[in-house]
Each structure stands twice: as C-alpha cells, then as structure tokens.
Amino acid sequence: MTLALFAVAVAFGLAGVVAWPRVRRHLHWRRHCLRLAAAHGLSAEQSRWLWRMGRRIAPELPVVVFVRPSVLHDAMASGELSADEHRALHHRLFGASH
C-alpha cells in the first residue's frame, strides 16, 4: 500500500515537472496581457476578451492582439464583436477610430 502511494506521488510529481514550463509560459503571457490592458485603460471584460482571442489565434504569443488591428476587424466581421465594441477597443489600442 505504501509503495503504491509512493508511486502515485512520484507520477504526479513528474507530471507537474513536465507541465511546469507550459504553466510558466502561460502565466508570463497572461501578466504581459494584463499590463498592456491596464496601460491602455481597458476594462476587465475587454482584457479577458483580448486574452481569450490571443490564446485562440496565437497560443505561443497571445499578446499579438495588442499590435494587430486585423484581429478586431476579423472578430467584428465574424460577429464576435459588435461595431461599438470594435470602435472602443480599436480607439484604446491603436488611438484612432476605424
């Protein structure tokens, strides 16, 4: 019984070691996203939306949504973002209305 518990503990420990770099990378980009969102004066809802969109279109570099206006345009074209939301986010991120 003790050996079985030890084996389970080792297995979970190894799984954590293997997953840790991915978790660290996720947290790293999440912090950057939050900083950029705060610097642009975005709401929590806008920040979450940009994070989800960034993770979906560029999982290895999700902050790309802060430098690629086409992401907002594509989201509006697909119905994920209303024209008003698009205008507000575009103005906050890129300084001009579209």
pLDDT, tens digit, 9 for 90 and up, residues 83-95: 999 999 999 999 8
Closest CA to 36 of 84, 90, 93: 93
- Which pTM was predicted? 0.69
pLDDT of residue 29: 86
pLDDT of residue 96: 67
Give 6-55 pLDDT, tens digit per residue: 666 556 665 555 566 777 887 888 899 999 999 999 999 999 999 999 99
Where do we find the tokens 């954590």? 16
- Whole-angstrom distance, CA of residue 86 vs CA of residue 98: 8
At 60, the pLDDT band (50, 70, 90 cuts) reads confident
Q: At what angle do helices 44-57 and 2-39 cross, to 10 degrees?
A: 120
What the block records as the tokens of 89 is: 């986010």
